[in-house]
Structure 1
């Protein structure tokens, strides 16, 4: 069985694949100081609750945008699964071209998303990942990563409003019924939510115009569900994009014998 670890700046996903389907998934807050042993204690309890144990896991793949965490995640696989993990950006062969000026600067999450999208959707793509940052990646019809637009994530923007403005409270993100708010909370929710919809719609329109060919737009990421039904700019919402990409990378590397 495969243990796939997808680590963002805010949350870390641990998922188990039995060769046919994903049988378990868990999330933890991302903490760069968490050691391999601490991960193991937490994960072993969740595995037991699912009727599993470390002994059934015989492969691991790691995607992380937090470099200081990779050491401990790799040690988790080595020490408790007794396997050498595939690590995106290090020893994993992706099988795609990264057509940006400095390929090493492409985040692991962006690379994995490109693969996860390409194996399901045909043609040229825009992959919108809404998390701590909002990224809009252009994936060519052959699977190559062409470039990206990056903006602050919606939660980050809301937190910045609260931090920088003394009278603005910390509030939860939700879709308001109106653009014109009648009180402070409603006005903040309207400005940030509909402002992000406008950001997405505007960037998608400009990317399509610059690309000059038809493109399919896929939304994914921790807060992408907030935008479901709020804009016609996103053609598909796909919450499993990243772990699908991790599974495909593992299969490619296993088939290649690496």
Structure 2
């Protein structure tokens, strides 16, 4: 079995693959202060609860945008699974042609999402990842990663309203169902949720126009949404074709297959 880690700024998503199929996944809080042993005990408890055996893990792959957690998970991999983890980064085979000015600046999660989406949906593609940041990635039908856009995520916006104002409360991130709201909490929810939908809708519209110009076939790009808040925002936007919340884990499994026999 393969254990895959998708480490974001807010959450770590873990997935277990058997014979290439995702058989279980979990989400936990990203904590820079946790040791390899603490993470190891949590993983052991999750496995036990689902009736899985950690001794069946034969390999580990990690995608992270939080460098401080990487060493911890690498140490965990060696101590608990006796395997040197594959880490998404320079030198890893992905099948993508990175057109970024500096390819090393592209987040590991964005690369992994692109690999998975191309495999599942074909190109051209726009991938929107609703995480701590909301990211937009443009990929051609020739597997060229052209670039994209990075915007503050809805949770960052919510936290900023609470922290930078004297009277506004912290609110649950959910749709109030209307934009003419008669209390403060619903007014904030409306601004956060529908405001984010409007931003996403506009950026996708502009990105579709630019990406179509790069397509030799003139195909209209498909738009795939992923990430923890994909359902909340994506369900209210007509321009999103599919919501695929496990896209990153599936991309990690695909990249593992490309690299498992080529460790340095």
TM-score over 0.5 for the pair: yes
Distance 1:91 1:51 in 2: 36
Provide the rounded CA distance (Å) in 2 between the counterparts of 1:20 and 1:151. Answer: 33
Of 247-256 and 3-12, deviating more is: 247-256
Q: Give the number of equivalent residue pairs.
A: 258
Q: CA deviation at 1:44?
A: 1.0
Contact kept in structure 2, 1:200 and 1:233, CA below 8 Å: no
1:243 maps to 2:213: no
How far is the alpha carbon of 1:93 from its aligned partner? 2.0
The answer for the alignment partner of 1:22 in structure 2 is: 22
The match for 1:93 is: 93
5+ residue gaps in structure 1?
none
Query: TM-score, structure 1 length as denominator?
Result: 0.96
Deviation at 1:254, TM superposition (A): 2.6
Of 92-101 and 240-249, deviating more is 92-101
Give 3-state SS (helix, strand or coil) of 1:120's partner. Answer: helix
Structure 2 residue 229 is the aligned partner of structure 1 residue 233:
no
Is the Cα–Cα contact under 8 Å of residues 162 and 168 in structure 2 kept in the other structure? yes
Aligned residue for 2:84? 84
| Residues 193-212 of structure 1: per-residue CA shift (max 9 Å, x gap) | 11111101100111122223
Cα deviation for residue 41 of structure 1 reads 1.1
> Shift in Å at residue 257 of structure 1?
6.9
Question: How far does residue 143 in structure 1 lie from its aligned partner after superposition?
Answer: 2.0
**Shift in Å, 1:177:** 1.3
Give the match for residue 125 of structure 2: 125
Normalising to structure 2: TM-score of the pair? 0.94
Equivalent residue number for residue 209 of structure 1: 209
1:67 to 1:257, Cα distance in 2 relative to 1, 3 A: closer
91-100 or 212-221, which deviates more? 91-100
Unaligned runs of 5+ in 2: none
